[in-house]
Amino acid sequence: MSSTGRLETFADGVFAIAITLLVLGIGLPARNAALWSALLAQWPALVAYVVSFLTIGIMWASHHQMFTVIGRSNMTFAFINVVFLMVVAFVPYPTEVLAQRIASGVDATGATFLYGAVMVGIAIMFNVIWGYASGGGGRLLRPGLDPLAVAAGAHGYRYGPPGYVLITLLAFVSPVLSLAGFAAFAVYWVLPKGGASD
């Protein structure tokens, strides 16, 4: 058993790097192209940057919030978090693929499914992390927490996987609608919820 300090530092690092690497996925305009039309043609990469940045940023904040009630760690818990971070750190890849395919129009729906599958994977891992930490009678939770407050705070994680599945299915209508849904879902997590203080 050890404290969660270094695990949080490591997770913060991976979140911060993955979110900042997103900018590398926006290709430069051609050297001699007219600037504004070249930038306009890149709107899928710019919109995807905003959506993925907000999404990873809110996921960081949620991870941060979850660890306000988790007080201990062990090797298994570290491993679960490494798997979680493996999916988070992968986000720049489907982001770039989605931007490429919305721009080219080839298999854009499929690229949205790839993006959505990664989001569903992260949402599932949130539940796995929480399930392990709060399972076994609150195995890794800080002592002295109010069980009702803990349960209320945790309630939200369940909405993640079905929420991301539904938003992904919007790609059958339009990949851009799906992208807007991912952005809206990120903002949703920030809104104050009944029964839970922020």
What residue type is assigned to position 141 of the chain? L
Output 113 or 164, the one with its CB closest to a second copy: 113
CB of 41 to a second copy, least distance (A): 13
Output 20 or 173, the one with its CB closest to a second copy: 20
Residue given tokens 């790609």 in the structure block: 171
CB of 120 to a second copy, least distance (A): 17
Output 126 or 189, the one with its CB closest to a second copy: 189
The encoded tokens of residue 150 equal 């803990």
CB of 64 to a second copy, least distance (A): 5
* Radius of gyration for the alpha carbons in the chain, expressed in angstroms and rounded: 18
CB of 105 to a second copy, least distance (A): 9
113 to 34, 141, 178: CA distances (angstroms): 33, 35, 10
Output 8 or 165, the one with its CB closest to a second copy: 8
For residue 160, which of 99, 119, 195 has the smallest C-alpha distance? 119
Contacts of residue 51, Cβ cutoff 8 Å, sequence gap at least 6: 95, 179, 182, 183, 186
Contacts of residue 131, Cβ cutoff 8 Å, sequence gap at least 6: none
CB of 38 to a second copy, least distance (A): 9
Give the total residue count for the chain.
Answer: 198
CB of 33 to a second copy, least distance (A): 8
Q: Residues 85, 148: contact at Cβ < 8 Å?
A: no
Q: Residues 127, 58: contact at Cβ < 8 Å?
A: no
Output 13 or 135, the one with its CB closest to a second copy: 13
